[in-house]
């Protein structure tokens, strides 16, 4: 008796599903494979919030405090790589070139010079500037804080 009820319920369920069908063979939707966003051109330093570093005066002391969140992965000492590369003398350095650091393919292939403007853009949303980076940091939304971190990185102490 229980088996008959189970079979009856299964037949009702099948009927309901087929009533919802458009008669096509497959009910699975075709989904396009996700594409990795294109990297921003090396010369492009536009930010999502429309700000530019030239509009800010960075404060290194404040930047040191903001950089505390970066210290989990980065050092400012030369030759000290952690889960992220050393940021010693980052301004003016070619991306993906710190000796002894194992960069992601995306970062190693980025091929731009870290200017203050590019770093300002990158700190806002790293994955936008280098799609596919292994850096998991979501960014610093406050433009003044980004300018402060850059001021600190220019002369960390």
- Cβ atoms of 131 and 39 within 8 Å: the answer is yes
Going from the C-alpha of 7 to that of each of 2, 3, 13, 94, 145, the distances in angstroms are 9, 6, 10, 68, 65
| Per-domain boundaries in the chain | 74-157
Give, in words, the CATH class of 74-157: mainly alpha
3-state secondary structure of 78: coil
State residue 94 phi and psi, 5-degree precision.
-70, 135
E-only strand ranges, 26-157: none
pLDDT tens digits, one per residue of 76-128: 999 999 999 999 999 999 999 999 999 999 999 999 999 999 999 999 999 99
Q: Which residue has the higher pLDDT, 138 or 15?
A: 138
The pTM (predicted TM-score) of the whole model is: 0.75
Least-confidence region, from 25-29, 41-45, 52-56: 25-29
In which element (H, E) is residue 65 found?
Answer: helix 60-67
């Amino acid at each position: 008796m229980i088996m008959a009820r189970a079979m009856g319920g299964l037949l009702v369920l099948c009927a309901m599903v087929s009533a919802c069908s458009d008669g096509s063979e497959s009910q699975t939707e075709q989904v396009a494979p996700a594409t990795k966003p294109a990297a921003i051109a090396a010369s492009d330093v536009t930010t999502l919030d429309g700000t530019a570093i030239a509009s800010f005066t960075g404060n290194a002391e404040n930047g040191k405090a903001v950089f505390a969140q970066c210290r989990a992965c980065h050092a400012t000492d030369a030759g000290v790589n952690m889960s992220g590369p050393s940021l010693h003398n980052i301004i003016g350095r070619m991306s993906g070139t710190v000796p002894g650091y194992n960069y992601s393919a995306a970062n190693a292939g980025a091929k731009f010079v870290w200017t203050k403007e590019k770093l300002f853009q990158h700190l806002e949303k790293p994955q936008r500037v280098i799609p596919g980076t292994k850096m998991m940091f979501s960014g610093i939304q406050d433009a003044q804080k980004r300018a402060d971190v850059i001021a600190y990185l220019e002369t960390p102490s």
